[in-house]
Chain A
Amino acid sequence: MAKRVGMEVSISISEAVKLANVDVISAYPITPQTHIVEHLSEFVSDGELHSAFVPVESEHSAMSAALGASAVGARTFTATSSQGLALMHEIMYLAASMRLPVVMSVVNRALSSPINIWNDLSDIMAERDSGWIQVFAINGQEAYDLTLQAFKIAEDPRVLLPVAVNLDGFILSHVIEPIELFEQKEVDPFLPPYQPVLRLDPEKPVSMGAFGSPEVFIEVKKQVEEALIGSQKVVAEVWKDFGQRYGRVYKPVESYQTKGAETILITMGSITETAMMAIDALREKGRQVGLVHIRLWRPFPFKEFLQAIKGAKTVAVLDRALSPGGVGGPVGLEVKSALFGKEERPYVAEFVAGLGGRDLTVETFIEVLDKAEKYSQKQKDFQYELIGVREK
């Protein structure tokens, strides 16, 4: 049976990657992702993991090498953060369109400037439309589990898309948490070796990533879109299988204290557990508040999300990224889009907070919920509010 140990979350992710028996790791170190790849390189040099470790000269090369490796049929892993992810940007789209099931840990960190190594979601949100499956961990155990699951989801012949497993920089990556680690023999039946459908093979030559004129480009993009939407079914299957084997159940959106809740807070990532404490504190005072957190960000689980917030009069969204000059953050935008056109829809109050690692405390969430309810009563017409910004 799985053993529970206190372990830094980054290290546990490298343990998960090791259990996944990856063939190729190509990565470039960047704070706060560094511990994941450092630990993997140790596994490789100590002979504990029989993978090719490619120490590339940049993240652009890290992702390019990952694509090449995946194209020959190797199980491939990489990891990055912030500016590193931005440098991968160009190749991110290729991974999805070329249907290469690369798995990547994205240790979320703000994009400069000012130069900032702390946590927000601006890095991954700039990759929202890259065609990757994108999941968010709320704690260390989830980061570990989602990493293992990611390979199975990505490599499913019905999916064949890359997966980004997001975890908050420092807040998750550098903390020591109790984590249940699997034994190799427990993982092997869940995650058999990768069986590519198409691969680069000198015996049977094909060309990948070739030219696509206007006459064929849309058809390739349509395929990716259908695969991404269709992947939700596979994600659900993999999570069900995982739950049956190991007892931890994952859903695309999770509800916390939403029974009878008139106001529901929407979160993503590690802030969720702090937000839960705020919900508990308000529930104790008799307030009808609840929480819904989004684990599967792409493809967006519209049906499950709408079901989860059903009955709420007010929805407060807390975004950790800003779309400047727009309506707030990407999560708020998605929530509003999901509700638009529905006959009965709650009032949506959009908040942007915690940029560049600004701490989000229980009090922040209470402030957000208070404001959301106040604005809802007045039906205040506003785009979004930036929380915690000093005016004086």
Chain B
Amino acid sequence: MAKVEAMMPWKDVPLGGTILEPGNARKFKTGDWRSKIRPVTDKEKCIKCGMCWIFCPDMAYTHREDGYFDWNGDYCKGCGICAKECPKDAITMVAEEE
């Protein structure tokens, strides 16, 4: 399990467990329980449409300056949605080593 950065005494927890810092889920890295497969993009086939980025339920893709999308193993669960949704079949799910 990823280390939680929210270990604080109960009196310091913001009211009702409210999260005061937008987007801090980024600090909570969950990629370590990914199914033992991950997506690999073939840039030759990619048309930079962004479907993988839109559909990924874990926001594991980030948009690069050159238009391609970078994959991030800190959050990817290996669900395969991006590979399924890619209109150009540019994404292949490949087995990961232990």
Interface residues of A (CB under 8 A from B): 97-100, 160, 197-198, 205-213, 215-216, 218-220, 222-224, 226
Smallest Cβ-Cβ distance to A157: which chain B residue: B15
Q: Indicate which residue in B9, B17, B22 contacts A97 across the interface (CB closer than 8 Å).
A: B17
Say yes or no: B7 contacts A222, CB within 8 Å.
no
B15–A215 CB distance below 8 A? no
B residues 1-32 touching A (CB-CB < 8 Å): 4, 6-11, 13-20, 22, 25
Those of B35-90 within 8 Å (CB) of chain A: none
A198, B15: Cβ atoms closer than 8 Å? yes
Q: Which of B7, B20, B25 contacts A206 (CB 8 A)?
A: B20
Query: In angstroms, how far is the closest chain A Cβ from the Cβ of B20?
Result: 5
Q: Are B10 and A208 in contact (CB under 8 A)?
A: no
Chain A residues with CB under 8 A of B11? 223
Q: State the CA gap A249–B17 with chains docked (Å).
A: 36
Q: Is B19's CB under 8 angstroms from A219's CB?
A: no
Given A208-B16, A215-B6, A216-B4, output 8 extra A-B contacts at Cβ < 8 Å. A160-B15, A160-B16, A198-B16, A207-B18, A208-B18, A211-B25, A223-B16, A226-B10
Given known contacts A219-B10, A223-B13, is B4 in contact with A206 (CB within 8 Å)?
no
Set of chain A residues within 8 Å of B4, measured between Cβ atoms: 213, 215-216
A-B contact pairs, 13 of them (CB 8 A): A97-B16, A99-B16, A160-B16, A198-B15, A206-B19, A207-B19, A209-B17, A211-B25, A215-B7, A216-B7, A216-B17, A220-B17, A223-B16
Contact B18 A219 (CB under 8 A): no
**Roughly how many angstroms separate A100 CA and B18 CA in the complex, as a whole number?**
11
Cross-interface CB contact of A216 among B13, B15, B22, cutoff 8 Å: B13
| B3 and chain A: residue at smallest CB distance | A215
A212 touches B17 (CB 8 A): yes
The residue that A197 contacts in the complex, of B7, B8, B15, with Cβ under 8 A, is B15
A220–B10 alpha-carbon span in the complex (Å): 7
Nearest residue (CB) in B for A96 is B16
Cβ 8 A contact of A220, one of B7, B13, B22: B13
How many angstroms between the C-alpha atoms of A219 and B9 in the bound complex? 7
- Contact assessment for A198 and B18 in the assembled complex, using a CB-CB cutoff below 8 Å: yes
| Contact partners of B13 in chain A: CB under 8 A | 216, 219-220, 223
- The answer to whether B19 and A223 have CB atoms under 8 Å apart is no
Question: A210: which B residues are within 8 A, CB to CB?
Answer: 17-19
Chain B residues within 8 Å of A213, by CB: 4
**In whole angstroms, how far apart are the Cα atoms of A216 and B22 in the complex?**
18
Known A-B contacts A213-B4, A216-B4; the reply to A207 vs B15 at CB < 8 A is: no
**A198 and B14 contact, Cβ closer than 8 Å, known pairs A215-B7, A216-B6:** yes
In the complex, the 9 A-B pairs of residues with the closest C-beta atoms, listed nearest first? A99-B16, A219-B10, A207-B19, A220-B17, A222-B10, A98-B16, A215-B4, A205-B22, A219-B13
> In the complex, what residue of chain B is closest to A207 when comparing beta carbons?
B19
- Name the B residues within 8 Å of A208 (CB-CB): 16, 18-19
Alpha-carbon distance A98/B18, docked complex (angstroms):
8
Q: Which residues of B contact A100 (CB under 8 A)?
A: 16
| Chain A residue nearest in CB terms to B20 | A206
**Nearest CB on B from A241, distance (A):** 24
Structural contact, B18 and A206, CB atoms closer than 8 A: yes
Inter-chain contacts of A160 with B (CB < 8 A): 15-16
Instruction: Assess whether B18 is in contact with A223, with CB atoms less than 8 Å apart.
Output: no
Rounded to whole angstroms, the CA-CA distance of A218 and B16 in the bound complex is 11
**Cα–Cα, bound, A352→B15 (Å):** 39
Shortest beta-carbon distance from A96 to chain B in Å = 9
Q: Kindly state the separation between the CA atoms of A213 and B25 in the bound complex, as whole angstroms.
A: 12
Minimal beta-carbon separation of A20 from chain B (angstroms): 23
Residues of B within 8 A of A98 (CB): 16-18
Q: Give Cα A97 to B17, complex, Å.
A: 8
CA of A213 to CA of B14, assembled, Å? 15
Cα–Cα, bound, A205→B18 (Å): 11
Q: How far is the CA of A100 from the CA of B11 in the complex (A)?
A: 18
Contacts of B19 in A (CB 8 A): 206-208, 210
B12 to A, closest residue via Cβ: A219
Q: Contact at B22–A207, with CB atoms within 8 Å? A: yes
Alpha-carbon separation in the docked complex, A116 to B15 (Å): 40
* Cβ of B15 to closest chain A Cβ, rounded Å: 5
CB closest residue in chain A, given B7: A215
